[in-house]
Amino acid sequence: LAQPGFQAATEGAWFFKPNYGIGASVGVNFHPIDVSALGAAKVQSDPFLEDVYIRSESFLTITTMAGPFVRFPIGNKLSFTGKIIAGLLYGQTPYQLYKPEFFGVDVPFYEITSALDWKFSWLAGAGLRYDISPCFGLVFDSELMYDNLKFNFQTNTGTRTDKVEFAIINLSLGIRLVL
């Protein structure tokens, strides 16, 4: 139920050969939750639930990764870039506040607190780079990160573990500066 969101990232690479290098990337992603779809699913799954009002924070992921980078010229100013990097992935579920409306029963608000997980993960990316000058260029990048995280939630009956399978596809248009 996560929707397209916001990403902020920084990335750098050192090319020790004309086409081969090593680099690192640090990024943060915020993906809002579709509370309308979540509420509709909750109402459909419980025959006594007439409606539910949900407030939710965004799903959060933070990555710190490094690995090999490649760059191959396609023409005079255009080149293909690629990377396969690996490192730490941090995921945090959103804090959510629920106000259910059950048939004939008044139930107070309840909350679902955040849960988190850390793990080793990977990311693959490919893109195009257009050099406007030797120090300045435009880049179009695409990235894919696919993984599973386990989140532990404390309930009145003990600990519940939710396994969340997710895929993050990032498409970005940016500026390249050579330092």
pLDDT in tens, 35-71: 999 999 999 998 888 999 999 999 999 999 999 999 9
pLDDT string in tens for the chain (179-residue length): 788 888 888 888 999 999 999 999 999 999 999 999 999 999 999 888 899 999 999 999 999 999 999 999 999 999 999 999 999 999 999 999 999 998 888 888 888 889 999 999 999 999 999 999 988 999 999 999 999 999 998 888 889 999 988 888 888 888 888 77
Please spell the DSSP secondary structure of the chain, one letter per residue: -B---EEEEEEEEE-SSSSEEEEEEEEEEEE-B-HHHHHHHHHHH-TTEEEEEEEE--EEEEEEEEEEEEEEESSSSEEEEEEEEEEEEEEEPPPEEEEEEETTB----EEE---EEEEEEEEEEEEEEEEEETTEEEEEEEEEEEEEEEEEEEETTEEEEEEEEEEEEEEEEEEEE--
Decide: pTM greater than 0.85.
no
